[in-house]
Every structure is written in structure tokens, then in C-alpha cells.
Structure 1
Amino acid sequence: MTKTLPTDPRLEALLDAALDHVPFDGWSPATFRAATSEAGMTEAEAKALAPRGAIDLAVALHRRGDRAMVEKMASVGSVDMRYRDRVSAALHYRVEALPDREVARKSSALFSLPTHAAEGAKLIWETSDAIWTALGDTSRDGNWYSKRATLSAVWGSVVLYWLGDDSIGHERTKEFIDRRIDNVMSVEEIKGRLRKNPLTKPLMEIQAAIMGRVKAPSRADRSNLPGRWSPDT
């Protein structure tokens, strides 16, 4: 299991103070000012923790959810589970870590803006990467990307479904997750059959060779996500 990074308790306190205001004022300067005051900080202290103001708090909230998911994965364990069930369970845990629905709506609205859409996509990618890393994924080539791209698409659709799910205990969202994972696994099964078929095996080998030239980013430095293309491999 992957280890979670330590958090700054002052940033966590500032984020906690902001959450009561987000449903009304969104991730706005007004929310940031109110959080700063309620956390007992000066503007300079708050800006040192979140230089971009509320947008940095929104990012911190997303990463808090990722940490909670990884910690739940580590505490529950999944050695005896099928691989598809382990992925599904991780997504269930991430749903459990979602904030108040109105806060989640405000966050979704923020990261759908053109100025923040790229960062929103990066955060979704981080969630996917956290899941695969926690599950022990060792791929370092194009498979690293395909796994995370696929799961990122699944997670993005799960959040949208959850926002409109009024079922008790979000049971419909849980069922939606299971259906989406089944769809993903069926694609992997098809790829496996293509690799074994004498007629399609050469094409799959070419695809594998191309994917092998793609390199995953350094495990030590996650700031260069999603990675790079290497023509030298």
C-alpha cells in the first residue's frame, strides 16, 4: 500500500473553517476571508498556506479525500478479493470520502471553469493514480497511462452520478460503480483474447512495443504528471 503524505494541520484547520461557507459563497475570496478569520490567522499566514486562496483549499479538500480512501484501503485490506473487486472497493471508499453534496457541487463547478479545468483533470488523475499505486501497480510504460486514463474516466462519471443520486445510502451509485468496473474488465478480457489469437497477436505486439516507449513519471516527483514520451527506449 502506498503511504500518504503528511499534512499541515494549519492548512487543515483553514480548510475546515472554509467548509461551512462553501455551500453559500462557493470557493470564493469571501469564503477564504471568513475561513482566515475563523481559523484565527492573519491574511499573510493564510496566504502562506494557500497562496491562491480558496482554489488551493478546494485542491486540499480533494487530496484529503484521496488520503482518506488510501487509508481505508490499507485498514480494510483486500488480499482475498478479486482484482476487479479491489478496484471497485477503492472507488466505494472514495465516494465515502466525498464532502457534503453542496460542497462537492461547488467544487465540480469550480473545476469545470476553463481557468481551472486542467487542474481539475489533474486531480482526477491523482485519484486514479492513488488507487492503482495502493493496489500495487508496477507498470512503468504505456500501461501506466492506460490504467489511469480509464479509471479517471470512471471516477469522473461516478462523481456526476453521485451528485444526482438520492437513493438511501447511495446504493445506486454503488451499483453504478460495479457496472462501470465490469465494463472496464470486459475490455481487458477482449484485449487478452486478442493477444492470444494468432491473427491479431502481431498487431497487439506492435501496440505493446509502442506503449513500451512511453514512460511513467518519477515516483519521487509527482509534479510532472502525467509523464513523458521517451524516443530513446
Structure 2
Amino acid sequence: MTPLKDRILDAALMHVPFDGWSSETFRAAIRDAGVTPAQGRAAFPRGAVDLALAFHARGDDRMIAALNAADTDEMRYRDRVAHAVRTRIEIADENREAVRRGMTLFALPIHAADGLKAMWGTVDAIWDALGDTSTDVNWYTKRATLSGVYSATVLYWLGDQSEGYRETWDFLDRRIDDVMQIEKVKGRARQSPVISRLMEGPNRLLSRIRAPAKMPRGDLPGYWAEPPRGE
């Protein structure tokens, strides 16, 4: 994120608890950041919606940095996943009301696709940080499953009044355990001669599914690569 965007976003966070991710917040952020409306629109063409997405993306970037710096080699894999989700939520805690307002914004049908894309970006970043190398249908199932765990945990956290969000972390552990039970059932099914034979056809089709090409994180849908020297 550019320094200009950071400045506008920081200014907006002072207003979001009162006015949400709204046009009022966007105008106030431009004023408080000391930039012109044209500069504000150049940085965030859709105004408050792009501000909310930038806030979410900044949280993801901070999560990635924290996960890359953490020593999780001795953790069980399910604990590493839980740690990653907890890290993302703890990063958001300083702006909890902004997260709540963002959930409200992205619950609107007109912005639902943006919200789903943002959440998918979060779980994709988590799996990447955990070293996921899947390139087949498992790439999709892992992210879809974690999306359910992450979204449910965030909703629980927003209403949690327990000390240190103890109940939220217990809820997260239960959701992770539920997912692990599903994986155990799938493993037993693959070992069953009858079920494995029944799944030969579907598995053959699923084996053709490939993960999408990985694009670098950034503000734009595309990216710039320096051309080779001499061209």
C-alpha cells in the first residue's frame, strides 16, 4: 500500500466506529489526511468500499509478516492452522469496530462478492504461510473449509465478552477439531475397497482440476515486471 493510501486509511479509522465505511467517512478521511478529493478518488476509486478492502488487506499483510516471523515448527499442524487464524483476529482487535462495520458493509448484496474475495484472500494467505503446496482440487477444498472456520470464528469473536476472548479461542479449537474429524473420515473412506471403487469415476474427474496461477499480492489486479535487459 502506498503512503498516500496509508494516510487516508489511518484518517478513516478515526471515523469508521461512528459512521461506518460510508461516504461520510471517506470525505472526512480525505479532509483529515490533507489531500484533495481527486487524490482520494485516485487512491480509492470506489470510495469507502475500497477503503474497507484496503483495511482488510493491510491486516492480511501484517498477519503474513507475523506468521513468517513465528517459530511454529514444533506445533502440530492443526495447531499451526489455529494459530494463524488467531493471529489474524488478534491483529484486527485494535480496530474491532471497523471489522464489525466491514461485516455489515459486505453483507449487502451489492458488496457481497468483494467480501467473499477478501475472505478468500485471507485464507489463501494463511495456507501459503503454512507452506501449502497443493495444486489440485485440494487447493480449493482447503481454502473453502478454512473460509467457513475463519468466518464463523470472526462472527463469534465480534460478540465475545469473555476475558482475553477465551471463548472465541475455544470455539476456534472446536471448529478445527471438527475439520480434522472430517479429514479422518475421508482418509478411512479412501482405504475402503468398496468406497474407493465407487469413487474412481469422480476422482478421475477431480484429478483434472488445477489451482489457479499464483499472482503477487498488490493493489492492482495485474502486476509490472521489468523487461529483460536489451529489450
TM-score by length of 1: 0.89
Structure-2 separation of matches of 1:207 and 1:78 = 36
2:163 equivalent to 1:177: no
Match in the other structure for 1:4? none
**Structure 2 CA distance for partners of 1:203 and 1:86, relative to 1, 3 Å:** farther
Deviates more, 1:75-84 or 1:50-59: 75-84
Q: Tell me the residue number matched to 1:154.
A: 149
Q: Deviations over 1:148-199 (max 9, x none)?
A: 0000011110111011100111111111111100100110111111111112
Counterpart AA for 1:155: Y
The match for 2:14 is: 20
Q: 2-side partners of 1:140 and 1:196: how far apart? A: 23
What does residue 109 of structure 1 align with?
Answer: 104
1:217 aligns with 2:219: no
Q: Report runs of 4+ in structure 1 exceeding 4 Å deviation.
A: 221-224
Query: Pairwise mapping of residues 42-191 of structure 1 onto structure 2 (< 5 A)?
Result: 42-99=36-93, 100-191=95-186
- Structure 2 CA distance for aligned equivalents of residues 211 and 62 of structure 1: 32
The whole-number CA distance in structure 1 between the counterparts of 2:160 and 2:142 is: 27
Q: Report how many residues are paired.
A: 218
SS at match of 2:92: coil
Gaps of 5+ in 1: 1-6, 225-233
Q: C-alpha separation between the residues in 1 aligned to 2:210 and 2:122?
A: 19
**Over aligned residue pairs, what C-alpha RMSD do you find?**
1.5
AA paired with 2:13?
A: L
Check the 8 A contact 1:143/1:211 in 2, yes or no.
no
Specify whether residues 173 and 215 from structure 1 end up closer, same or farther in structure 2 by C-alpha distance, changes over 3 A only. same
**Quick check: 214-223 or 15-24, which moved more?**
214-223
Alignment-mate amino acid for residue 35 of structure 2: M
* C-alpha contact 1:125 1:148 (8 A) present in aligned 2: yes
- Displacement of 1:221 in angstroms is 6.2
Which residue in the other structure is 2:193 paired with? 198
Instruction: Output the CA distance in 2 between the equivalents of 1:203 and 1:131.
Output: 33
The CA distance in 2 between the partners of 1:214 and 1:101, in whole Å, is 38
Q: Residues of 1 paired with 2:176 and 2:82: CA distance?
A: 6
